[in-house]
Structure formats: C-alpha cells, structure tokens
Amino acid sequence: MWSDLLPAFFRGTWITLQITVESVALALLVAIVTGIARLSRYRIIRAAAAVYVEVFRGTSLLVQLFWLYFALPMFMNVQLSSGAAAVLALTLNYGAYGSEVVRSSILAVPAGQTEAAIALNMTPYQRMRRVIFPQALVRMLPAFGNLQIELLKGTSLVYFITLADLTYEGMILRSYDASSTTEIFVLLLIFYFILAHVLNSAVRWFERRAAAGRS
C-alpha cells in the first residue's frame, strides 16, 4: 500500500517545497523593503507602505489567492498561472506580516547606535547597511522562523486553485481509495511536520551564524 502512495507524496512535496522556497525568498525581500519604507522620512512612502500592510494583514490569505487567480483576470486581462498566483499571494501576505517584524526590530536597535553612526559622518544608507540593519537582523530571525512555518502551512491553500502540491496529491489519492483515508491524511500531516522541522533547523543554523561574535 505504501508503495502506491509514496511516489505521489514525493511529487507533491517537491511542488510544496518549490512554492515555499520561492515565496519565502520573495516575501523576505518585500518584508525588508516595506519595513524600511514604513520608517521613511517621507510621509507618502510611509502611508503607502502602511496601506499595503494593513490591507494584506486585514484580509484572508485564501481570499487574496482567489482574488489574484479568479478576479484579477477579469479586471486586467492577465491570467496568472496557478503557480504564479500562489507565489504572489503568499509573498504579498507574508511580506506584509514580515514587514512588521522588520519595522519593530529596527526600532528596537538603541538610538545611540544611530547617533554614533551620525557622529562618524556616515550617510543614511551606510547607517542602515552597516550599523542598524545587521543588529536588527539578529532580532528578526526568530520571528522570521515562525513566519516561515506559517508560510509552509499556508502553501496547502494552493490546493484550492488545483495546483498539485502535497495536500492536492493527498486528496487525489483519497478519491481513488477512500478506505485508506486515515493513512493518507496521517502521512500528509507527518510530511508537513518533517518539512517544518527541516525549515526550522535551517533558520536555527542561520540564527547561530548571525549571532556569532555577538552576545
């Protein structure tokens, strides 16, 4: 029985992993840019970033996914592939959550650090790049680790737009053989659990590296 199930599970795992890694990378970028934009000295930039964050945090991920996949084509005449819609929705949603982490971590760096950097005649870019951000990053990592697990769990929603991820493969298998429903779902949960732990240990490793030489 296991030999019938496992190939489909591995196919699904591959898709889930791809979506997760792509979305995590893009969401990280969006989070850093938005988080810094929310602390900009220009009011318009701050406001635009705040609107983006509140809209994507205030609505549901699944609603955003449906909107991008079903509603956007009617509005703009572009049909995103299911993979692109999935990555875009996950990126925008978790990018918004991540930007709050970036923002609060930057604010938590003591003001004396900024003052010292100014006294050393650093430009605003140098201050952020060399002094503030490296210190803020150490504070961000644990929260990013949690968000990454949330994102992994969020990828299961791509099942709704018929992208063949782990959850979707499980549901297909179940439709062939309803009597092994329990085995399929238990196996699904175990697969996600293992994936989460692999991602988690990656972040832990990175945390240790980033904290090296600091106390």
Nearer to other proteins, 71 or 211 (CB): 71
Q: How far is the CB of 100 from other proteins (least distance, A)?
A: 11
Q: How far is the CB of 134 from other proteins (least distance, A)?
A: 28
* Span of 5-13, 100-108, 124-132, 181-189 interacting with other proteins by CB under 8 A: 181-189
Q: How far is the CB of 127 from other proteins (least distance, A)?
A: 29
DSSP assignment string, 83-99: HHHHHHHHHHHHHHHHH
Q: Which residues touch 161 (CB under 8 Å, ≥6 apart)? A: 65, 66, 69, 82, 85, 86
What number of residues does the chain have?
215
Closest CA to 52 of 107, 98, 104, 85: 98
Handedness of CA 124, 129, 130, 131 (dihedral sign): positive
Q: According to the binding rule CB under 8 A, does residue 75 interact with other proteins?
A: yes
Residues that bind other proteins (CB under 8 A): 54-55, 57-64, 66-67, 70-71, 74-75, 149, 152-157, 159-160, 167, 170-171, 174, 178-179, 181-182, 185-186, 188-189, 192-193, 196-197, 200
